[in-house]
Amino acid sequence: MIKASIGIILNEERSKVYLSLRQAHQTYSGFWEFPGGKVEKNESYEECIKREVFEEVGIIAQELELLEKKDYINKHDMHIFLEFYLITKYESLPKAKEGQKLKLVNIYDLNKYNILPASKSVIEKLIKLNKQIIR
């Protein structure tokens, strides 16, 4: 089983999130994703997402909030356990550090993107969360 931690990096108004495009050499190339990656040995999910977002987009995550935990079987029949974290406070502005495309996307437009299948379940949660913030 693979363990992975995913970061949903919100803008200051909490109305937009950062997506990156998976590259040609990666599995699921051409899909958009929230930054994240595999949990390393002796690393917590929280430590993993802090490391991953720094490596991928150069931010220092300061405030995390667990949004969802889920088991997922991918197209290669691999079992993946995912933890999705809202990153609401961070240092620096996200920038593509690994040659990937990085985009700031309105939460209400997420369904227009070819998002990794395992991440689709968080879109509705983000929309509901955004509606609560606007009130």
pLDDT at 133: 60
Asked if 121 contacts 68 with a C-beta cutoff of 8 angstroms, the reply is: yes
Interval 81-126: pLDDT, tens: 999 999 999 999 999 999 899 999 999 999 999 999 999 999 989 9
pLDDT (mean) for 42-54: 97
CATH level 3 topology of 2-134 = Nucleoside Triphosphate Pyrophosphohydrolase (3.90.79)
pLDDT at 24: 84
pLDDT (mean) for 4-17: 94
Q: How far is residue 98 from each of residues 58, 71, 94, measured CA to CA in Å?
A: 10, 27, 12
Assign 72 a pLDDT band (cuts: 50, 70, 90).
Answer: very high
Residue that the structure tokens 């958009």 belong to: 32
pLDDT at 134: 52
Q: Is 96 exposed, middle or buried (0-12, 13-18, 19+ CB in 10 A)?
A: middle
pLDDT at 75: 84
Domains of the chain, residue spans: 2-134
pLDDT at 129: 86
Residue that the structure tokens 């490391």 belong to: 51
